[in-house]
C-alpha cells in the first residue's frame, strides 16, 4: 500500500482484496440525492497521476496495532459498475491495476478527516455517485459520514495526526529504505513535537506557499509523489517529464504557512539527473525532480532525513491547531 499525505482515505484494488472478502464487505448507501436511499455509492477519486473508480464499502481497517472500525473505504476496479464518462474525461489515466498504480492501494493520511467535504453540499463531476444498476451511476451529494475517510481520524486514541520518519540517503539513492509511520502527535513519549519545529499552517485543501527563485507557488507536501514537482525553465527535462540537469544542482526554497505572522522556513534540496539515477533501478531517491506548470509539490524526497508531522484538521496539539505540517 502506498502511504499518501496528499490524499484522504483507504483505497484498495479489488484484485488485491480478493473477490471473497470484497463480497463480504457491506456496500455503503445513503447518498443525499438517491430517491430510494438504498443504492450503492461509488466514487471517482482523481489524483495527479490519474483516477481510481470503484464501490464504497465499509470495513474494519487494521494498521499495526491500531484499528479503524466500520469505516468507508473504496474498492478500486471491483467491476461492479461502469466508469462514468466524466470520471474518464477528467481523471486521466485509469489507476485500476497494480501496474498502473504501482501498489495494491493507497492509505491517504492528509489532514482532512473526509476526502471531499464539498461533495456533502454540492453534486460534483468526477466525485461521488449512486448506482442503481451496473450501467447506471448518477452524480450525487453524499453526507460526510458516508465518505471515504482518514483512518487515523477513526482510531480511538493517537488520532490527531501522524509522523513519517525516513533515513537520509546517499547522493545516488538507495536500493531500499525503511522508515516509521507513527500515529499521534504529542500523545506518547515517541511522538512529541521537537522543541523548535518548523510549522506550516495549511488551508482547507492542505496547501501553503513555497517561494522558489523569488516566485510564490501554491504548495503541498505529498509522500505519494516520488519526486519534487516544480517549475524551472532553466533545467532541461525529458519527454517523460524528468529533470535531467547536466550536474547535480543545489537549490533552496522558502516555505511559509497561511497564518498571519507565520515564520518562513528555508529548505535546501538537490536536483540530480533523473536518467542517471533511474538507471540503477533503486527504490529510494531524494533528488528526483519533475517539471510543473503550476503548483510546487514537495514529494517523497522531502521526507528523507526528516521527521514530518501531519496534524489533522481541528486537532489541538500544544498551542497549535491543525491542519499543519511540522518538520
Neighbours of 281 (CB within 10 A): 8
pLDDT above 90 coverage of the chain, percent: 96
pLDDT in tens, 253-265: 999 999 988 999 9
The per-residue DSSP string of 260-303 comes to TTPPPEEEEEEE--HHHHHTT--SB-SS-EEE-SS-EEE-GGGG
pLDDT in tens, 43-98: 999 998 999 999 999 999 999 999 999 999 999 999 999 999 999 998 789 999 99
Per-residue pLDDT at 32 exceeds 90 = yes
- Determine the average pLDDT of the residues in 145-160: 98
Per-residue pLDDT at 311 exceeds 90 = yes
Per-residue pLDDT at 21 exceeds 90 = yes
For residue 232, the 8-state DSSP code is -
Q: Is residue 305 within 8 Å of residue 167, measured between CB atoms?
A: yes
Helix segments in the chain, DSSP class H: 14-17, 19-24, 85-91, 98-101, 274-278
Neighbours of 97 (CB within 10 A): 12
The grid cell for 91 is: 481523471
State how far the alpha carbon of 13 is from the alpha carbons of 49, 91, 105, 162, 166, in Å. 16, 17, 6, 24, 26
**Nearest-5° Cα angle at 306, 301 to 186:** 135
Give buried/exposed letters for 23-45 (b at 16+ CB in 10 A, else e): eebebbbebbebeeeebbbbbbb
The per-residue DSSP string of 27-64 comes to BP---TT-SSS-SEEEEEEEETTEEEEEEEEEEEEEET
> Which residues lie closer than 8 Å to 53 by C-beta, 6 or more apart?
42, 43, 44, 45, 76, 77, 83, 84, 87, 91, 94, 96
Q: Residue 263 has what pLDDT?
A: 95
Domains of the chain (ranges, CATH numbers): 2-154 (2.40.70), 161-326 (no CATH)
Taking the C-alpha atoms of 164, 170, 175 and 176 in order, what is their torsion angle to the nearest 10 degrees? -20
> Which residues lie closer than 8 Å to 99 by C-beta, 6 or more apart?
none
Give the residue carrying C-alpha cell 535546501. Answer: 268
pTM attached to this predicted model: 0.95
pLDDT above 70 coverage of the chain, percent: 100
Task: Give the separation between CA 203 and CA 313, rounded to whole angstroms.
Answer: 9
Amino acid at each position: 500500500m502506498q502511504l499518501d499525505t496528499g490524499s484522504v482515505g483507504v483505497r484498495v484494488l479489488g484484485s488485491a482484496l480478493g473477490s471473497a472478502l470484497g463480497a463480504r464487505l457491506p456496500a455503503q448507501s445513503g447518498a443525499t440525492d438517491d430517491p430510494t436511499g438504498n443504492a450503492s455509492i461509488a466514487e471517482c477519486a482523481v489524483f495527479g497521476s490519474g483516477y481510481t473508480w470503484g464501490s464504497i464499502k465499509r470495513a474494519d481497517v487494521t494498521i499495526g496495532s491500531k484499528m479503524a472500525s466500520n469505516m468507508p473505504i473504496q474498492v478500486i476496479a471491483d467491476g461492479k459498475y461502469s466508469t462514468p464518462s466524466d470520471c474518464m474525461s477528467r481523471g486521466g489515466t485509469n489507476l485500476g491495476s497494480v501496474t498502473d498504480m504501482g501498489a495494491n492501494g493507497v492509505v491517504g493520511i492528509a489532514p482532512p478527516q473526509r476526502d471531499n467535504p464539498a461533495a456533502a453540499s454540492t453534486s460534483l463531476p468526477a466525485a461521488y455517485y449512486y448506482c442503481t444498476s451496473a450501467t447506471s451511476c448518477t452524480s450525487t451529494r453524499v453526507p460526510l459520514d458516508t465518505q471515504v475517510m482518514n483512518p487515523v481520524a477513526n482510531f480511538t486514541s493517537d488520532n490527531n495526526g501522524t509522523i513519517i520518519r525516513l533515513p537520509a540517503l546517499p547522493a545516488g539513492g538507495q536500493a531500499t529504505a525503511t522508515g516509521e509511520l507513527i500515529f499521534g502527535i504529542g500523545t506518547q513519549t515517541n511522538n512529541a513535537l521537537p522543541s523548535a519545529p518548523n510549522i506550516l499552517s495549511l488551508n482547507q485543501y492542505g496547501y501553503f506557499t513555497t517561494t522558489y527563485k523569488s516566485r510564490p507557488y501554491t504548495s503541498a507536501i505529498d509522500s505519494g509523489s516520488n519526486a519534487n514537482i516544480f517549475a524551472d525553465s532553466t533545467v532541461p527535462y525529458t519527454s517523460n517529464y524528468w529533470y535531467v540537469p547536466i550536474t547535480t544542482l543545489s537549490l533552496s526554497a522558502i516555505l511559509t504557512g497561511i497564518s498571519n505572522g507565520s515564520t518562513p522556513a528555508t529548505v535546501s534540496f538537490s536536483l540530480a539527473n533523473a536518467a542517471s539515477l533511474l538507471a540503477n533501478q533503486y527504490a529510494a531517491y531524494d533528488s528526483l525532480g519533475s517539471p510543473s506548470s503550476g503548483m510546487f509539490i514537495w514529494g517523497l524526497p522531502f521526507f528523507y532525513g526528516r521527521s514530518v508531522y501531519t496534524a489533522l484538521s481541528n486537532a489541538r496539539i500544544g498551542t497549535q491547531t491543525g491542519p499543519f505540517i511540522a518538520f
